[in-house]
C-alpha cells in the first residue's frame, strides 16, 4: 500500500525520523549552551563581588575602652631631647594615657586609624564648649608611632596613645609650656600625628572631652567621647590625670 503513494511522499516519511532526531539534538545543545552561559556569568559575578558577598557575613567591628589603671593609664619614663638642638636632656617620669582598640568582629580590620575630631572644655557655666583653635588630626599607635595601622585581626587589639604628662617642674624643659599658663602647672601633651605650630596639642589644666573617631578601610567608623581631667595635686605637684570613655 505504501508503494501506491507518490515517491516524494515516501521520501518525506522516511526523512521524518531523522528530522526529529536533529530537532531533539538541537534542543539539548541549546539547553546545554544556555546553562553553560548562565554558569559562566554567575562565576564571573561571584568573582567580581566576592569581597562584597563575604563581607555580608564576615566583617570587623571596632570597639574602644579605657581604664583608670595600668597599662591604659600608668606611670612610666620618657626620654627627652632638646627640641631645637636634638641634644639628649634626660629620662624623666611621666604619665601616659592610652585607649584600647579591639576588633570584636569575625574578620580582620584593615588600615585602622584613630582620628581626634574635637576637643571640648568645661566652662564656669558647666557647659562644654568646643576649643576652636584645636586642629583635628590623627593620633599615634602605641610603641610603634604609626598613624595608620595595617590591620587588627579578629579578637585582637592594640593600644593607641592619647597623650602624656611630665612632672610640672619639667614642663618648660620638655617644651610643653603654654602661654598664659603659670610654670609648675600640669600640661597634657596630646600624641598627635604631628605637633602643630599652633601648639594646640598642649592642653592646659581643666576638664575636657576629646571626641575621637575610630575607622578602618573595611569597617564602619565609630565615634567615642573621652572625658579627661588635667590637674596637679599634692605638695610635690605630681602629675595626675583621669580619663574614661563612653560611646558617643
Whether residue 109 is contained in a domain is answered as yes
Tell me how many domains the chain contains: 2
CA-CA-CA-CA torsion sign (87, 90, 91, 94): negative
Whether residue 63 is contained in a domain is answered as yes
pTM of the model: 0.70
Same domain membership, residue 77 and residue 26? no
Same domain membership, residue 238 and residue 164? yes
Which of 29, 48, 67 terminates a domain? The answer is 48
Whether residue 54 is contained in a domain is answered as no
Q: In whole angstroms, what separates CA 44 from the centre of its chain? A: 31
Same domain membership, residue 38 and residue 152? no
Q: How many CB atoms lie within 10 A of CB 142?
A: 19
Same domain membership, residue 219 and residue 133? yes
Same domain membership, residue 164 and residue 212? yes
Whether residue 37 is contained in a domain is answered as yes
Same domain membership, residue 78 and residue 40? no
Whether residue 129 is contained in a domain is answered as yes
Containing structural domain, residue 6: 2-48
Same domain membership, residue 204 and residue 121? yes
Whether residue 84 is contained in a domain is answered as yes
pLDDT along the chain (248 residues), means of 10: 50 52 71 80 72 70 89 84 74 89 94 96 94 94 94 96 87 78 84 90 91 94 90 48 44
Same domain membership, residue 23 and residue 140? no
Q: What is the pLDDT of residue 41?
A: 79
Whether residue 82 is contained in a domain is answered as yes
Same domain membership, residue 185 and residue 69? yes
Residue with cell 587589639: 157
- What one-character DSSP code corresponds to residue 139? B
Question: By the 8 A CB rule, do 120 and 131 touch?
Answer: yes
Same domain membership, residue 44 and residue 91? no
Same domain membership, residue 68 and residue 39? no
Q: What is the pLDDT of residue 122?
A: 94
Buried b (16+ CB within 10 A) or exposed e, 176-199: beeeebeeebbbbbbbbbebeeee
Same domain membership, residue 172 and residue 64? yes
Amino acid at each position: 500500500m505504501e508503494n501506491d503513494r507518490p515517491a516524494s511522499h515516501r521520501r518525506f516519511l522516511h526523512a521524518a525520523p531523522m528530522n526529529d532526531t536533529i530537532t531533539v539534538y538541537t534542543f539539548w545543545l541549546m539547553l546545554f549552551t544556555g546553562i553553560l552561559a548562565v554558569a559562566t556569568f554567575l562565576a564571573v559575578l561571584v568573582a567580581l563581588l566576592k569581597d562584597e558577598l563575604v563581607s555580608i557575613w564576615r566583617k570587623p567591628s571596632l570597639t574602644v575602652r579605657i581604664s583608670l589603671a595600668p597599662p591604659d593609664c600608668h606611670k612610666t619614663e620618657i626620654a627627652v631631647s632638646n627640641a631645637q638642638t636634638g641634644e639628649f636632656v634626660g629620662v624623666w617620669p611621666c604619665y601616659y594615657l592610652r585607649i584600647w582598640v579591639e576588633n570584636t568582629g569575625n574578620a580582620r580590620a584593615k588600615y585602622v586609624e584613630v582620628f581626634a575630631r574635637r576637643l571640648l572644655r568645661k566652662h564656669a557655666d558647666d557647659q562644654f564648649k568646643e576649643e576652636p583653635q584645636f586642629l583635628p588630626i590623627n593620633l599615634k599607635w602605641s610603641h610603634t608611632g604609626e598613624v595608620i595601622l595595617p590591620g587588627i585581626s579578629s579578637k585582637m587589639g592594640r593600644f593607641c596613645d592619647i597623650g602624656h604628662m611630665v612632672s610640672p617642674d619639667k614642663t618648660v624643659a620638655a617644651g610643653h609650656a603654654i602661654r598664659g599658663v603659670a610654670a609648675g602647672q600640669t600640661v597634657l601633651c596630646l600624641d598627635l600625628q604631628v605637633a602643630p605650630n599652633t601648639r594646640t596639642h598642649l592642653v592646659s589644666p581643666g576638664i575636657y572631652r576629646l571626641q575621637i573617631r575610630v575607622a578602618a578601610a573595611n569597617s564602619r567608623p565609630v565615634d567615642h567621647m573621652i572625658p579627661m581631667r588635667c590637674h596637679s595635686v599634692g605638695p610635690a605637684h605630681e602629675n595626675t590625670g583621669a580619663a574614661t570613655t563612653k560611646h558617643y
